[in-house]
Structure 1
Amino acid sequence: MAENGVRSRVKCRIGFVGTGGVATRHARFVATFDDAEIVAVIDLDHDRAATFAHAHGGRAVPDVAALIDAGVDAVYVCVPPYAHGEAERALADAGVALFVEKPLALDVPTAQQISDRIAAAGVVSRVGHHWRCAEPVRGARDLLAGRTVRQVSGYWLDKVPPVPWWTDRARSGGPLVEQAVHVLDLARVLVGEVDEVYALSAGPPQGGTTDVATSGVLRFACGAVGTVSTTCALAGKLRAGLEIVADGLVVGIGEDRLHVGDGISTRRRRFDPAIARRAADREFLDAVRGDGSPPAPLGLPDHAEALRSHRLACALATSVGTRVPEEAR
């Protein structure tokens, strides 16, 4: 388990809770690190866990207790929104470092309970807001330094993801919580905290309860105003990101792109998103191995910091239901 001995150990012992597509992405990057090895994995679908272990290493075990008994130093928790809670609490109590994929939970109380448990245990935690590690975000932060931000426009324009739980809001939390939290986290990093939100939805698609489209208004503490919009009505992912208007400048940011304009000309650059994703896994492993540095503003957030973005996303989702403005902090 993740104690001082990890620093001197040749390989950090990694486990997985959940072995779906996101877990597979992390496992592929972990495989490129010569100081880490996957030793045990669990999934509600044991056959899927066994297939994952065969492909990436380790062995499939029946439950979290067996994962802990396997001597893991760190665990990736890659489960749907409704499944967060029990695993994180048990692993934190056992002294295991945690990489938790977003969103943190369906709601704020569950995420807060997990965060409190992690803090009490004193274990390393990071949350999968890997956009913070992307070069476009670093470039945008430099460009906006010293400028007054006036307006923020966020968007996630996509299809229905190919997982059975996503169209059930009671299991996914809806698009603002499950997807747009990436964009909202980026808005907090580049512009600052949001005080108040108000959101509406266009209703669920046929056969589901998740909103097919949402639009929200945000009031930032710095005085800027913003919007965020989502849809799952398309045949594929069109784009996701932010446009930030500051005095004399507009900066557009996505996981893989940066564009800068002044109303007359625009400069555009493209980036490989795999670089930031790999960097996020490397940053987590370094923290587990005893780097000792607190999370950087443009590095992966720990659980307590990510909770602020989760709270913002949940405030928007709540406003969709209440149809009144909601406090975001």
Structure 2
Amino acid sequence: MTTAIGLVGLGWIGDSHLTDLAARADVEIQAVCDVDAARTAEFAGRYDARACKDVDELLATELDAVWICTPPQHHLAPARQALARGIPVYLEKPVARDLAEATELTRLAEESGVVCAVGYQWRAIELLDAVRSELASSDVVSLSGYSVGPTAARPWFLDQAQGGGNLLERGSHQIDLARAVAGEVESVLAVGSAVRVDRPGVAARNIDDALTLVLRMTSGAVATVVIAWTPADVPGRYGLDVVTDSGVLRMALDPEFRLTGRNRGLEVSAGVTEEPFSASNSRFLAAVKAGDPAAVACTPADALATLRVALAGEEALATGRTVTVS
């Protein structure tokens, strides 16, 4: 059975989704739209899809699901329209830019009963299941997450008020992974670097190029998250180290995707069969076919909880104080 999909927002992340979806024999790219009409026409031609002038026109086509890849401050309106029509939604992360819109979007998804996923992709990989299996008989003492590497300099990303900068756009991936591994977060402390990374051709920005978060988990464990935005020619490093009461687990993320370590006196080793971006799309498509909102990798409710922590981190970064998560 072929799944007819539409996609809203043809920036670099929308482009990445279309590349993945176009490679699937069971997916048909039916319609696309963007605020840039020329870009819409270009992508429509590339994928033999309908070029829609706006979200209303796109959602009026025969769709089985829609991907919303707009900037985070523009998530709620198209998601509300799609859910009201009963169209499953894959929403890029974060769930929204502010708590009020995120809460509203989560409520709409839950009340509609429509499948809705948020793109925290690391939740979709087998490594997470392997870590959770190890932790079934162990307690987490500490977590050390790191996200160091280049990223696209989107205009809204460069403005803290619009996109939340590195903390919300990149750091929230690590926050979400820490929550998925070790449970909820009680409080956040954050420190940003005053040293600026040289970025030729990039307009003025007011975001932190590097920062560190310290998360106090409700379990009593502590987590650190290091985020650094590097020049484009520097290889990235992404991962999470988990110290338990009986060992150490090392989750190497992009590009290795390997779990290694030793726990309860035994060597631990695991890999993946599908990289996170594709795995998250696969989980969503399977949930759509099954009509099961709980089958997605990350639900809006989970993404809302992650946003609460990220916003507490943003406040901590601005004030220099430890902030309790609401």
TM beyond 0.5? yes
Task: Name the SS of the counterpart of 2:290 in structure 1.
Answer: coil
Q: Does structure 1 retain, via aligned residues, the 8 Å contact 2:124–2:283?
A: no
Match of 2:91 in 1: 100
Inter-partner Cα distance in structure 2 for 1:118 and 1:300: 15
Task: Name the SS of the counterpart of 2:105 in structure 1.
Answer: helix
Does residue 315 (structure 1) correspond to residue 306 (structure 2)? The answer is: no
Does residue 132 (structure 1) correspond to residue 123 (structure 2)? The answer is: yes
Match of 1:277 in 2: 277
Match of 2:248 in 1: 250
Q: Does structure 2 retain, via aligned residues, the 8 Å contact 1:135–1:276?
A: no
- 1:65-80 to 2 correspondence within 5 Å? 65-80=56-71
Match of 2:201 in 1: none
Query: Cα deviation per residue 1:274-296 (whole Å; 9 max; x = unaligned)?
Result: 5333232122112222343623x
Task: Name the SS of the counterpart of 2:241 in structure 1.
Answer: strand
Q: Does structure 1 retain, via aligned residues, the 8 Å contact 2:126–2:271?
A: no
Task: Name the SS of the counterpart of 2:305 in structure 1.
Answer: helix
Inter-partner Cα distance in structure 2 for 1:132 and 1:42: 28
Match of 2:53 in 1: 62
Match of 1:7 in 2: none
Inter-partner Cα distance in structure 2 for 1:54 and 1:147: 53
Inter-partner Cα distance in structure 2 for 1:12 and 1:267: 38
Inter-partner Cα distance in structure 1 for 2:280 and 2:130: 17
Does residue 18 (structure 1) correspond to residue 9 (structure 2)? The answer is: yes
Q: What is the one-letter code of the residue matched to 2:278? A: R
Match of 1:327 in 2: 324
Q: 1:190, CA displacement in angstroms?
A: 1.0
Match of 2:182 in 1: 191
Q: 1:164 to 1:219 in 2, by over 3 A?
A: same
Match of 2:237 in 1: 239
Q: 1:233 to 1:282 in 2, by over 3 A?
A: closer
Q: Does structure 1 retain, via aligned residues, the 8 Å contact 2:141–2:222?
A: yes
- 1:1-329 to 2 correspondence within 5 Å? 10-203=1-194, 205=196, 207-235=204-232, 236-255=234-253, 256-261=257-262, 271=272, 274-292=274-292, 294-295=294-295, 300-329=297-326
> Which structure 1 segments of 5+ residues have no match?
1-9
Match of 1:6 in 2: none
Inter-partner Cα distance in structure 1 for 2:139 and 2:55: 48
**What is the RMSD of the two structures over their aligned residues, measured on CA atoms?**
2.4
Q: 1:66 to 1:171 in 2, by over 3 A?
A: same
Q: 1:182 to 1:254 in 2, by over 3 A?
A: farther
Q: What is the one-letter code of the residue matched to 2:55? A: V
Query: Cα deviation per residue 1:167-211 (whole Å; 9 max; x = unaligned)?
Result: 211222121210111111111111111111111212484721001
Q: 1:275 to 1:248 in 2, by over 3 A?
A: same
> Which structure 2 segments of 5+ residues have no match?
199-203
Inter-partner Cα distance in structure 2 for 1:278 and 1:233: 25
Task: Name the SS of the counterpart of 1:137 in structure 2.
Answer: helix
Inter-partner Cα distance in structure 2 for 1:46 and 1:237: 34
Q: Does structure 2 retain, via aligned residues, the 8 Å contact 1:198–1:324?
A: yes
Inter-partner Cα distance in structure 2 for 1:122 and 1:45: 32
Q: What is the one-letter code of the residue matched to 2:210? A: A
Inter-partner Cα distance in structure 2 for 1:249 and 1:228: 20
Inter-partner Cα distance in structure 1 for 2:194 and 2:84: 41
Q: 1:265, CA displacement in angstroms?
A: 11
Inter-partner Cα distance in structure 1 for 2:286 and 2:279: 10
Q: Does structure 2 retain, via aligned residues, the 8 Å contact 1:136–1:254?
A: no
Q: 1:307, CA displacement in angstroms?
A: 1.1
TM-score, normalised to structure 2, is 0.88
Q: Does structure 2 retain, via aligned residues, the 8 Å contact 1:160–1:166?
A: no
**Range moving further from structure 2, 10-19 or 183-192:** 10-19
Match of 1:4 in 2: none
Q: 1:222 to 1:69 in 2, by over 3 A?
A: same
Query: Cα deviation per residue 1:220-278 (whole Å; 9 max; x = unaligned)?
Result: 1111112112111444352122111012311121432323147x998776657x53332
